[in-house]
Amino acid sequence: MRPVAVVGIGKTAFGAFADRDLRSLAVEAGQKCMADANVSPSKVEAFYLGNFAGPSFVGQNHLAPYIAGAMGITGVPCTRFEAACASSGSAFFHAVSAVGAGLYDVVLVGGVEKMTSQPTPKVTEILAGAGDMLGEGRAGATFPALFAMIARRHMYQYGTTREQMAAVAVKNHANGAKNPQAHMRKVITIEQALAGKPIAEPLTVFDCSLISDGAAAVLIAPLERAAEFTNKAAKILGIAQTSDQVALDQKDDITTFRAVQSAGEKAYKMAGVSPNDIQFAEVHDCFTIAEIIATEDLGFVKKGEGGPYAQQGCTALNGPRPVNTSGGLKAKGHPVGATGVGQICDVVVQIRGDAGERQIPRHSIGLAQNLGGSGATAVVTILGAA
């Protein structure tokens, strides 16, 4: 496999945009990305799109050529990937695989979701389709309920506390307040997080990610050609996608995501690094407990130590290993189909040194972890300065 680099990035703001449709969001991100890499649509050799539920949210199918055509990209393969909240992470993995294998040289990868077209109960129902509908769905279990069970079990096995989960929310809100593209730019206190509206015990509204609209895009090319597009390329050091059972009751231990562990191990091996080498990370904090578990499954801390690690400030902007400098899904927003590629953009922004108020001093190697469902799909990417 030949080395591959990210040579262009582009994102919309994440938020609730009543006056924007899905295609306009995706086109904005794609055009920003191509402009960032000084590439015209005619140079794009393939377009890979991550989108979870465009047909359910907005009634539109055949999304990849629908969006590509609006950007002036025609005559090339245009493919949509669906892997729940890891949809664009999966699109990115397969695009990197194709460029690495030599099938294409210049590939645009996008991710988009328009979620606010539906009322919250309907959004919750649509998202639940990423779980086991024959079992969990029939029982009425939504993702807040499933992650509440995960949180409760983690608390039982390891002594994790609500205060530790609240610390994740407070930290990510503080980071999001510094991110001009974040959905929620609101600083909160531990007391506010703990007193939030109950959603599914022990989770409050401050433990849950946002229902958002938004899009993100990246352009990838062989590393040997990166200088044609930018002097700020980010090399893809390692990448892996793995899977696990969809239903919680089919997992041996619901306090860990085996897919994240295996994807992380494969990405570390490909990159030739260890967890200790990762300076910062964007992880999939769909719920605060998910960030705590991610830091454990990725090997940043031992199992059961993710809660104290967050509470002690180790993942803060000024901590030894900042996590979710963007604000994470919790504050930046979670337009599910855009999240995976959005994380790649956020890591690249740090590597370039372009993160403004959120810029961290050690930023030459970062990791992105994208999760689908309650751990059935995981994509882990390690990037470094080229």
Query: What contacts 122, CB < 8 A, 6 or more positions away?
Result: none
Catalytic residue among 208, 334, 345, 363: 334
Sign of CA dihedral 146, 152, 155, 161: positive
Q: Is 334 among the residues known to form the active site?
A: yes
Tokens 């922004």 correspond to what residue? 349
Strands 203-204 and 198-200: antiparallel
Q: Which of 35, 291, 301, 254 is nearest to 166 (CA)?
A: 291
Signed CA dihedral, 260, 298, 170, 150: sign only: positive
Contact 23, 210 (CB under 8 A): no
Catalytic option among 85, 208, 314, 345: 85
Beta-bridge partner residues of 235: 5, 384
Dihedral angle sign, alpha carbons of residues 83, 86, 87, 89: negative
| Separation CA 313–CA 291 (nearest Å) | 14
Question: What is the radius of gyration, based on Cα positions, of the chain?
Answer: 19
Known active-site residue 78: no
Those residues whose C-beta lies under 8 Å from the C-beta of residue 234, and which sit 6 or more positions away, are 5, 6, 347, 348, 351, 352, 383, 384, 385, 386
Output the CA–CA distances (angstroms, integers) from residue 381 to 37, 238, 319, in the order listed.
Answer: 21, 6, 22
Distance CA 113, CA 363 (A): 29
Residues with a catalytic annotation lie at 85, 334
